[in-house]
Chain A
Amino acid sequence: MERFDVELRKVTKRFGEVTAVRDVTLQIRSGEFFSLLGPSGCGKTTTLRMIAGFEIPTSGQILIGGQVQGHLPPHKRPVNTVFQHYALFPHMTVYQNVAFGLEMQKVDKAEIAARVGQALELVHLTGMENRKPKQLSGGQQQRVALARALVNRPKVLLLDEPLGALDLKLRKNMQIELKNLQAEVGITFIYVTHDQEEALTMSDRIAVMNRGRVLQVGSPEVIYEQPENRFVADFIGETNFVTGVLQRAGLPVEIEVAGQLVQAGWLAEGVRTGETAVLSIRPEKIHLLPGSANGEAHQFGTAVSGQVERTIYLGTDTRYLIRLDAETRLVVRMQNTQVGHSHFAIGDTVWACWNPAHARVLSAEE
């Protein structure tokens, strides 16, 4: 059996009437960069706080390193947290901040000095030991918060939107630094963010949350390419949702949209033939061909015909809005691989084609 650093088993947390986290089960592997991704208020922070011990689950179990945590207070758990607004002690210097956790664990003075030195070196803050947090920039404060947590060599580091307060450029730099740092120290990171791009670029695996539930767990590629429900497909990247009626549940899945039958490579559980369902396909997975190229279009696997309604030139690629019928539009993104070659004009009749493996039929709900 695989050992997990952190395990949540059917964890639910209620605050009075509000259910912040609902029946969440997660298994986080050792050394993994694991992200909790979801919109504001979906329960990411609450999940993290339960792992840290600041909140106790209403029901369910949390295990860290195979040990059931129960009501264990935060200072007895082998995890450390990097808080959203850093929560640096304003009355202590950088050195004192970083040394705090070691002092509390009664590590001896010489070792504290050595380890604090290492930690500050790791986050490139050597020489700032005697400054107070107020005398540091946002990015530097962020690093102190990291060093203060890492110096304790926790099993697991919990990070609650650690880059949320930084400006875009610094944020991008820190993303890379954080990722490198994690690889260097080999500690398991549980990383909370509502920024899908951040989650995609940094994580080994992502859990997408909404309204207290975990909707899907997987690698960035799986989350992006194989969303299992409408929310995940919609929250990560851009996608087309086209409502239709399911015609065939076996492979290839067939669904009728805008009066035309198209194929998809995957069907969500519980959707039956004859029921309303949603076809989901990413704009860049669709290829446009002229309306005259009948045969070629069907070699792609599946195709629908429509008219170009709008084109937007974006430099690297061009976005087309394709009208299938009065209610139905498809967004298509074609790369501009050739100079001076505008593919299609408004009003052109075109085939929108795709490989069925790239399209998914999802439940119409959620």
Chain B
Amino acid sequence: MQAIIRRSPAIRAWILLAPAVAWLFIFFLAPLVIVLIYSFLERGTYGGVVWQPTLENYRRVFDALYFNTFTRSVYIAVATTVICLILGFPMAYFIATRPQKIRNSLLLALMIPFWTNFLIRTYAWLTLLRTNTGLINVTLLSLGIIDEPLPLFGNDFAIILGLVYGWLPDMVLPVYAALERLDRSLLEAAQDLYAGRWQVFRRVIWPLSLPGVVAGSMLVFIPSLGAFVTPAILGGGKSLMIGNIISNQFLAAHDWPFGSALSMLMMVFMLVATLIYFRAVNREGGAGL
């Protein structure tokens, strides 16, 4: 037996991989399969399921109420990703072009806020944004700059703000990693070949940083689409996302099969969106170095 293991690299590789495979199977694949199965069953009265196959859950997913929330969630996640990219790219570029010592300090500064609990940071935004008692509106009102409180809270704006704030470093870090690897002499070569600033960016910096942009966009888009803490707090109970509805199905409405169907819809959507995104980026030519 030992001799066989020693002789066959394939068997040895499988033995080494076994813990990881077991982990993935038990904690990733199995729950996924359970969710998939539940989504085709009928709900139990107090949670759980009745083993009665049905497509009803998937029909309900397309009810205007839920489907609109879903499309709004997609819109919020896309907006969050785009804003993170617009803010994060220049930040990453700035950091990557500083001298080494300053770079590390800046990266640290970027991370420091995230040593605090996410919930606490989101509540901190609450005290800033709240319509009548929030710090921003109170200050602006007392200074006489505005007469009516600004609608900063309980809407999509507040949610996007909170999500951008939460996921910005997830955009900055991979983009930074790509830009840091970028050979400065390539930029000089482009300039030397008559490229102005914009063309240097468009033709050299951007395509070569695409792998980082792709990674960053995924890291922001996926958690944003599934977010439920941020919309629960900053949405003020009025503006919800698909994540809140799913968690409600499990925790409040005791409708596990419907929650499962919504989850499946979200996952399939993410998968498709990711694939389309990758293909588009590959056509751009950057990632395929």
With both beta carbons as reference points, the residue of chain A lying nearest to B288 in the complex is identified as A91
Residues of A within 8 A of B194 (CB): 75-76, 101, 104-105, 152
Q: Is B47 an interface residue (CB 8 A)?
A: no
Within 8 A of B (CB), among A48-67: 52-54
In the complex, what's the smallest C-beta–C-beta distance from A75 to chain B, in angstroms?
Answer: 5
Best-buried of B185, B191, B193 by chain A (most CB within 10 Å):
B193
- Chain B count of residues within 8 A CB distance of the other chain: 21
Q: Which of B27-35, B116-124, B202-210, B251-259 contacts A (4 or more CB under 8 A)?
A: B202-210
Is B208's CB under 8 angstroms from A90's CB? yes
Interface 1/0s, chain B 168-209, versus A by CB < 8 A?
Answer: 000000000000000101101111111110010001100110
Interface 1/0s, chain B 244-265, versus A by CB < 8 A?
Answer: 0000000000000000000000
Residues of B within 8 A of A87 (CB): 183, 185-186, 188-189
Interface 1/0s, chain A 63-101, versus B by CB < 8 A?
Answer: 000000000011110011101010111110000000011
Q: Is B113 an interface residue (CB 8 A)?
A: no
Residues of A within 8 A of B285 (CB): 91
Interface 1/0s, chain B 203-235, versus A by CB < 8 A?
Answer: 110011000000000000000000000000000
Is B203's CB under 8 angstroms from A100's CB? yes
Residues of B within 8 A of A75 (CB): 191-196
Q: Is A155 an interface residue (CB 8 A)?
A: no
Is B289's CB under 8 angstroms from A90's CB? yes
Residues of A within 8 A of B189 (CB): 81, 83, 87-89
In the complex, what's the smallest C-beta–C-beta distance from B99 to chain A, in angstroms?
Answer: 13
Q: Is B286 an interface residue (CB 8 A)?
A: yes
Given that A83-B188, A89-B204 are known contacts, is A104 also in contact with B183, CB under 8 Å in the complex?
A: no
Is B190's CB under 8 angstroms from A100's CB? yes
Grouping DSSP codes into helix (H, G, I), strand (E, B) and loop, the B interface class, with mixed when no group exceeds half, is: helix
CA gap between A48 and B208 in the complex, in Å = 27
CA gap between A81 and B192 in the complex, in Å = 7
Q: Is A333 an interface residue (CB 8 A)?
A: no
In the complex, what's the smallest C-beta–C-beta distance from A101 to chain B, in angstroms?
Answer: 4
Is A104's CB under 8 angstroms from B286's CB? no
With both beta carbons as reference points, the residue of chain B lying nearest to A73 in the complex is identified as B191
CA gap between A334 and B186 in the complex, in Å = 50
CA gap between A88 and B185 in the complex, in Å = 9
Q: Is A148 an interface residue (CB 8 A)?
A: yes
Is A52's CB under 8 angstroms from B192's CB? yes
CA gap between A362 and B191 in the complex, in Å = 45
With both beta carbons as reference points, the residue of chain B lying nearest to A98 in the complex is identified as B193
In the complex, what's the smallest C-beta–C-beta distance from A124 to chain B, in angstroms?
Answer: 22
In the complex, what's the smallest C-beta–C-beta distance from B28 to chain A, in angstroms?
Answer: 34
Is B286's CB under 8 angstroms from A54's CB? no
CA gap between A81 and B186 in the complex, in Å = 12
With both beta carbons as reference points, the residue of chain B lying nearest to A158 in the complex is identified as B192
Is B286's CB under 8 angstroms from A91's CB? yes
**Which of the residues A54, A132, A148 comes within 8 Å of B193, measured between beta carbons?**
A148
With both beta carbons as reference points, the residue of chain A lying nearest to B285 in the complex is identified as A91
In the complex, what's the smallest C-beta–C-beta distance from A180 to chain B, in angstroms?
Answer: 24
Is A91's CB under 8 angstroms from B208's CB? yes
CA gap between A88 and B288 in the complex, in Å = 16
Q: Which residues of A line the B interface, CB within 8 A?
A: 52-54, 73-76, 79-81, 83, 85, 87-91, 100-101, 104-105, 132, 134, 148-149, 152
Q: Which residues of B line the A interface, CB within 8 A?
A: 183, 185-186, 188-196, 199, 203-204, 207-208, 285-286, 288-289
Pick 17 A–B contacts, CB within 8 A, sort by A: A54-B191, A73-B191, A75-B191, A75-B193, A75-B194, A80-B192, A80-B193, A81-B189, A87-B186, A89-B204, A91-B208, A100-B193, A104-B196, A104-B199, A105-B194, A148-B193, A149-B192
